[in-house]
């Protein structure tokens, strides 16, 4: 993760606009739900929390509003994103700093959060090891795109356009966790709420299509999480501690 990727994300945040900011805030609510649930189920300490790849601070802001974490910090490779995060003036945030994508600034944290980042980096194992170096536990979240829907050329092109370097499945994430010297202590799958599937619907037809898509996915997910994972993209999050 070098200067080329930093420039890519600087440009992405600079041109994203208000609608994409609202999209990130919608996503942050689901991500915060997952962080809270996994921290509770795995009984993880959360007095000092750091987010690696914090972007514009949407998740940090959501966690702060919920009173999660005594103090919060965030690191990102994009200075444009960090400027947006600093402009939020998020309560309880003590550090918002740029890093090179490899070496996380030294710190002593109870919990590191890496949410929708590993699929963007060329060396996910190395980044996860770094997170474990500065924190006692790590919560990871990724989209599971190694499936029938995600394998379509159009879907792969969309993923590549937003910077996804790898299409992961649950086994792949677990392999990365293990290679980084960690083990999974709690996990969850999420087919995503209706609001996510209809957010970019600009016409009644698009909205109807999004509603149908959400209903079909939730129905299959209720019947079989395994079948749903093979068919379409779910979000997967897990709590990890040293082996």
What class has domain 3-191+233-242? Answer: alpha beta
CA distance 57 to 74: 8
What pLDDT shows up at residue 43?
97
Work out the pLDDT band at 118, boundaries 50, 70, 90. very high
- pLDDT mean over 94-107: 95
Q: What is the pLDDT of residue 13?
A: 84
Q: State yes or no: pLDDT of 1 exceeds 60.
A: no
pLDDT at 2 (0 to 100) = 42
Mean pLDDT along residues 207-212: 96
- 50 in Cβ contact with 68 (< 8 Å): no
Specify the range with the lowest mean pLDDT, choosing from 54-63, 75-84, 155-164: 155-164
> pLDDT of 13-28, one tens digit each?
877 788 999 999 999 9
pTM over the 0.75 mark: yes
Q: What percent of the chain has pLDDT over 90?
A: 84
- DSSP assignment of 40-95, as one string? HHTT---SEEEEET-TTSHHHHHHHHTT-SSEEEEEES-HHHHHHHHHT--TTEEE
How confident is residue 153, by pLDDT bands cut at 50, 70 and 90?
confident
Structural tokens at position 148: 């029938």
The DSSP symbol for 214 reads: H
**pLDDT tens for each residue of 125-147:** 999 999 999 999 999 999 999 99
Average pLDDT of the chain, as a whole number: 94
pLDDT cut 70: percent of the chain above it: 99
Measured in Å, how far apart are the chain's first and last C-alpha atoms?
A: 26
| CA atoms 236, 114, 175, 43: torsion sign | negative
Question: Bigger pLDDT: 2 or 44?
Answer: 44
Average pLDDT over residues 166-177: 95
Q: What are the residue ranges spanned by the domains of the chain? A: 3-191+233-242
Q: How confident is the model at residue 160 (pLDDT cuts 50, 70, 90)?
A: confident
Angle between helices 170-179 and 124-134 (to 10 degrees): 60
Nearest to 130 by CA among 185, 187, 63, 182: 182
- Tell me how far CA of residue 220 lies from CA of 58, 61, 122, 125, 229, in angstroms: 30, 33, 33, 32, 10
């Amino acid at each position: 993760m070098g200067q080329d990727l930093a420039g890519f994300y600087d440009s992405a945040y600079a041109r994203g606009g208000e609608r994409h900011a609202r999209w990130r805030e919608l996503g942050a609510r689901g991500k915060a739900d997952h962080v809270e649930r996994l921290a509770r189920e795995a009984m993880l300490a959360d007095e000092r929390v750091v987010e690696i790849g914090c972007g514009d601070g949407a998740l940090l802001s959501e966690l702060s509003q919920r009173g999660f974490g005594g103090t919060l910090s965030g690191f990102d490779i994009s200075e444009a994103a960090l400027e947006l995060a600093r402009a939020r003036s998020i309560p309880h945030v003590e550090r918002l700093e740029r890093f090179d994508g490899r070496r996380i600034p030294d710190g002593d944290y109870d919990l590191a959060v890496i949410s929708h980042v590993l699929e963007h980096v060329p060396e996910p194992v190395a980044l996860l090891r770094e997170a474990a170096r500065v924190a006692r536990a790590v919560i990871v979240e990724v989209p599971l795109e190694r499936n029938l829907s995600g394998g379509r050329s159009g879907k792969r092109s969309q993923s590549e356009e937003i910077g996804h370097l790898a299409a992961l499945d649950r086994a792949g994430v677990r392999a990365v966790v293990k290679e980084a010297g960690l083990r999974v202590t709690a996990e969850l799958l999420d087919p995503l709420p209706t609001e996510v599937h209809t957010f970019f619907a600009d016409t009644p037809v698009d909205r109807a299509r999004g509603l149908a898509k959400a209903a079909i996915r939730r129905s299959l997910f209720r019947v079989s999480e395994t079948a749903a994972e093979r068919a379409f993209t779910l979000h997967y999050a897990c709590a990890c501690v040293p082996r």
